[in-house]
Structure 1
Amino acid sequence: MDIGQAIIDGTQEVFTTMLMVELEIGKPIIGKGGEVQANITSMLGLGKDIRGMLAVHCPADVAKDITGSFLGMEVEELDEDVKDAIGEIANMVAGSLKISFHEHGQDIELAIPTTIVGDSFRTSGMFGATRVAVPFTMNGSTFIVELKYMAAA
């Protein structure tokens, strides 16, 4: 299974069907690199056959644009609506990945998303996990959808 392509397909599906937005797609990055300065990150854990974490990392302007598209209104600040919207994006992309893994004979369970907001934070995953990050551009600003994963022991 091509994880990078699964992230691209899932993210595109969510944005075109739920937000009616076309995204520019960057090249998937395996391993280190491709970080963006995120002001908001929503992440959720994966369990069962695949353990890991899916995260959506957004600068403030992208997060507000996503939320505005979701709600059909102008968004001025990183408020609860923005946290909820980015959490829902992460949840829907993870749901799409769950289907892709299932089609390849791997069952995964999804946790509830957790969203953090701030000017200076860093997320880290499991030691030894494979990292695949895909940059997407919306309205001229880039955000990252990242999956850190490993097969369950």
Structure 2
Amino acid sequence: MLFSGEVADKIVESTNEIFTGMVMMQIEAIDPPAEPLGQFKNSITGLIGLAGTFKGVLAVHFTNDIAMAVTGSFLGLEVEEVNEDVHDAVGEIANMLGGDLKAILSDKGKDIQLSLPSTIGGEEYVFNSRDVGEQLLLAFKVPAGVFYVEAELEK
């Protein structure tokens, strides 16, 4: 089992560290929804791919409001629209989480490569990974609402 309780706990811990230490925002892990997320409205998703001994994807999903609040806190700016700064910040959060996931899964990290981070967003879109491998969905609460960290891996 790739996403044992220990691995999931480490991803929660990593997300907490990134948000409290880098984003300067307190978060709280909450129970994730029972159903897959699927469709997003007025949202942005940061993605990082993994290849090597483990392959798959890590995604972090924010509503636009949460993404702007996170970016504002991360950069110390007032953010009033989803712009390049927001996409960059969401991509960087996905990148940091991907790097931590790589370290969690691999002792030395040389057997797993990460893609460059990318983002998708819009008024309405569907996020479907390949439905191959093991899936993990984590939910976190911030003052502006709830965001999700989703991972799918196969060995």
TM-score by length of 2: 0.87
- Please state how far the C-alpha of 1:129 moved relative to its aligned partner: 1.8
RMSD of Structure 2 on Structure 1 (CA) = 2.1
Task: Give unpaired runs (5+ residues) of structure 2.
Answer: none
**Does residue 57 of the first structure (1) align with residue 61 of the second (2)?**
yes
Q: Which residue identity is paired with 1:134?
A: L
2:115 to 111, 114, 134: 111
Q: Which residue identity is paired with 1:109?
A: Q
1:142 to 134, 140, 146: 146
- State the distance in 1 between where 2:49 and 2:107 align: 20
**Does residue 33 of the first structure (1) align with residue 61 of the second (2)?**
no
- Please state how far the C-alpha of 1:107 moved relative to its aligned partner: 3.4
Aligned residue number for residue 102 of structure 2: 98
- State the distance in 2 between where 1:47 and 1:9 align: 23
Partner secondary structure for residue 94 of structure 1: helix
Aligned residue number for residue 15 of structure 1: 19
Give per-residue Cα distances to partners, 1:54-81, cap 9 Å, x unaligned.
0011001110011001110110011000
Q: Which residue identity is paired with 2:79?
A: V
- Please state how far the C-alpha of 1:3 moved relative to its aligned partner: 2.9
- CA pair 70-53 structure 1, distance change in 2 beyond 3 A: same
Which segment is superposed worse, 79-88 or 12-21? 12-21
* Contact residue 3 and residue 132 of structure 1 kept, 8 A: no
- State the distance in 1 between where 2:128 and 2:36 align: 14
Partner secondary structure for residue 61 of structure 1: helix
Aligned residue number for residue 6 of structure 1: 10
Task: Give unpaired runs (5+ residues) of structure 1.
Answer: none
> What stretches of structure 1 move > 4 A for 4+ residues in a row?
none
Which segment is superposed worse, 32-41 or 113-122? 32-41
- Please state how far the C-alpha of 1:105 moved relative to its aligned partner: 8.5
